[in-house]
Chain A
Amino acid sequence: MSLLEIKNLHVKVDGNEILKGVNLSLEPGEVHSIMGPNGSGKSTLAQVLARRESYDVTQGEILFNGKDLLAMKAEEAACEGLFLAFQYPVEIPGVSNAYFLRSALNAVHKYRGQDEVDAMDFLPKLREKMKLLEMDEKFLNRSVNEAFSGGEKKRNEILQMAVLEPKLGILDETDSGLDIDALRIVASGVNAMRSPDRAFLVVTHYQRLLNYIVPDRVHVLVNGRIVKSGGPELALQLEDTGYATVGSAAGAA
Chain B
Amino acid sequence: MSSNTDTIRELAQQEYKWGFVTDIEHDSAPRGLNEDIVRFISAKKNEPEFMLEWRLRAYRHWESLEKAQAEPKWAHIHYDPIDYQNIIYYSAPKQKPSINSLDELDPEIRRTYEKLGIPLAEQKMLAGVAVDAVFDSVSVATTFKAKLAEAGVIFCSFSEAVREHPDLVKKYLGSVVPYTDNFFAALNAAVFSDGSFCFVPKGVKCPMELSTYFRINAAETGQFERTLIVAEEGASVSYLEGCTAPIRDTNQLHAAVVELVALDDAQIKYSTVQNWYPGDKNGKGGIYNFVTKRGKCLGRNSKISWTQVETGSAITWKYPSCILQGENSVGEFYSVALTNNYQQADTGTKMIHIGKNTRSTIVSKGISAGHGQNTYRGMVRILKHATGARNYTQCDSLLIGDRCGAHTFPYIEVKNSTARMEHEASTSKIGEDQLFYLRQRGLKTEDAVSMIVNGFCKRVFRELPMEFAVEAQKLLSVSLEGSVG
Alpha-carbon gap, A86 to B441, bound state (A): 11
- Which residues of chain B are within 8 angstroms of A75 by Cβ–Cβ distance? 439-440, 442-445
- Interface segment among B35-43, B73-81, B85-93, B450-458: the answer is B450-458
Alpha-carbon gap, A77 to B434, bound state (A): 17
Alpha-carbon gap, A103 to B454, bound state (A): 13
Question: With A94-B457, A95-B451 given, is the CB distance from A164 to B442 under 8 Å?
Answer: yes
- Which residues of chain A are within 8 angstroms of B440 by Cβ–Cβ distance? 50, 74-75, 77-78, 83-84, 86
Q: Does B144 contact A (CB under 8 A)?
A: no
Q: Does B431 contact A (CB under 8 A)?
A: yes
> Smallest CB-CB separation from B445: which chain A residue?
A75
Alpha-carbon gap, A92 to B431, bound state (A): 10
Q: Check A107–B454 contact: CB distance below 8 A.
A: no
- Which residues of chain B are within 8 angstroms of A77 by Cβ–Cβ distance? 440
Q: For chain A residues 47-78, which have a beta carbon within 8 Å of chain B?
A: 50, 52, 54, 73-75, 77-78
Q: Check A104–B455 contact: CB distance below 8 A.
A: no
Q: For chain B residues 414-452, which have a beta carbon within 8 Å of chain A?
A: 431-434, 436-445, 447, 451-452
Q: Check B443–A104 contact: CB distance below 8 A.
A: yes
Alpha-carbon gap, A100 to B438, bound state (A): 9
Alpha-carbon gap, A73 to B452, bound state (A): 20
Q: Does A207 contact B (CB under 8 A)?
A: no
- Which residues of chain B are within 8 angstroms of A107 by Cβ–Cβ distance? 441-444, 447
Q: Check A94–B456 contact: CB distance below 8 A.
A: yes
Q: Check B441–A104 contact: CB distance below 8 A.
A: yes
Q: Check B441–A111 contact: CB distance below 8 A.
A: no
Q: Check A92–B438 contact: CB distance below 8 A.
A: yes
How many chain A residues touch B (CB < 8 A): the figure is 29
Q: Does B61 contact A (CB under 8 A)?
A: no
- Which residues of chain B are within 8 angstroms of A83 by Cβ–Cβ distance? 440
- Which residues of chain B are within 8 angstroms of A143 by Cβ–Cβ distance? 455
Q: Check A93–B455 contact: CB distance below 8 A.
A: yes
What's the least CB distance linking A138 to chain B, in Å? Answer: 18
Question: With A92-B451, A100-B451, A103-B451 given, is the CB distance from A86 to B437 under 8 Å?
Answer: yes
Q: Does A79 contact B (CB under 8 A)?
A: yes
- Which residues of chain A are within 8 angstroms of B454 by Cβ–Cβ distance? 94-95
Q: Check B436–A74 contact: CB distance below 8 A.
A: yes
- Which residues of chain A are within 8 angstroms of B442 by Cβ–Cβ distance? 75, 78-79, 104-105, 107-108, 111, 164
Q: Does A89 contact B (CB under 8 A)?
A: yes
Q: Does B459 contact A (CB under 8 A)?
A: yes
Alpha-carbon gap, A105 to B455, bound state (A): 18
What's the least CB distance linking B338 to chain A, in Å? Answer: 16
Q: Check A92–B433 contact: CB distance below 8 A.
A: no
> Smallest CB-CB separation from B453: which chain A residue?
A94
Alpha-carbon gap, A105 to B441, bound state (A): 8
Q: Does A160 contact B (CB under 8 A)?
A: yes
What's the least CB distance linking B180 to chain A, in Å? Answer: 42
- Which residues of chain A are within 8 angstroms of B433 by Cβ–Cβ distance? 90
What's the least CB distance linking A119 to chain B, in Å? Answer: 15
A interface residue numbers (CB < 8 A to B)? 50, 52, 54, 73-75, 77-79, 83-84, 86, 89-95, 100, 103-105, 107-108, 111, 143, 160, 164
B interface residue numbers (CB < 8 A to A)? 431-434, 436-445, 447, 451-452, 454-459
Instruction: Return 5 A-B CB contacts under 8 Å, by A number.
Output: A84-B440, A86-B437, A92-B451, A95-B452, A164-B441
